[in-house]
Amino acid sequence: MKQLNWMAALLLIPSLAFAQQSSDPAADGAVLNESPIGYASVQEAFDALSADENARQSFYQGWTIFNQKVDGKYIIWSFTPENHPVHPSAVRREVIGKDGQIYIGMGVMCHSSRFDCDQLVEQFKEINRNLKRRLSGQAGS
């Protein structure tokens, strides 16, 4: 039952946070390498999710968000709007509950300067911290 509560929160929370930025290079679960999102390109990922009946699509301030449940894992995809400085870019976050803890793994495919991509990563690291706090609070309820 607790798992269902935080899944419900995941579907509501993606709209939380596209407003915060800081500046520290990738760490804390952020990955910037070849195919960190499991697809060869941002467009390939977007097309696959658009065709996936199990991926729930929503929009927030121009961002396209997909939520999935795959093999007991909750995956949140965020795609930049066309007018975003790092467009086209995608962030894939995998939320896992294990032993009463919430873990969020993150992969980023970013097409911009290192500085701008680092800003994007930091923004999502803050979103992840907020998400973990909210989900941990619900898990204890």
Q: What is the pTM of this model?
A: 0.74
- Asked if 118 and 23 count as a contact pair (C-beta separation under 8 A), the reply is yes
State the Cα angle at 18 between 48 and 29, rounded to 5°.
70
Average pLDDT over residues 119-138: 91
Residue 18 falls within a domain, yes or no?
A: no
Residue 47 falls within a domain, yes or no?
A: yes
Residue 97: the pLDDT is: 84
Residue 20 falls within a domain, yes or no?
A: no
Residue 21 falls within a domain, yes or no?
A: no
- Asked if 109 and 37 count as a contact pair (C-beta separation under 8 A), the reply is yes
122 to 17, 72, 116: CA distances (angstroms): 12, 27, 10
What is the total count of domains within the chain? 1
Residue 6: the pLDDT is: 40
pLDDT at 69 over 60: yes
pLDDT at 79 over 60: yes
Q: Would you place residue 96 in the very low, low, confident or very high pLDDT band (cuts 50, 70, 90)?
A: confident
| Both tokens assigned to 58 | 């929503």
Residue 26: the pLDDT is: 37
Q: Which domain holds residue 70?
A: 2-12+26-139
Residue 30: the pLDDT is: 44
Closest CA to 32 of 111, 96, 86: 111
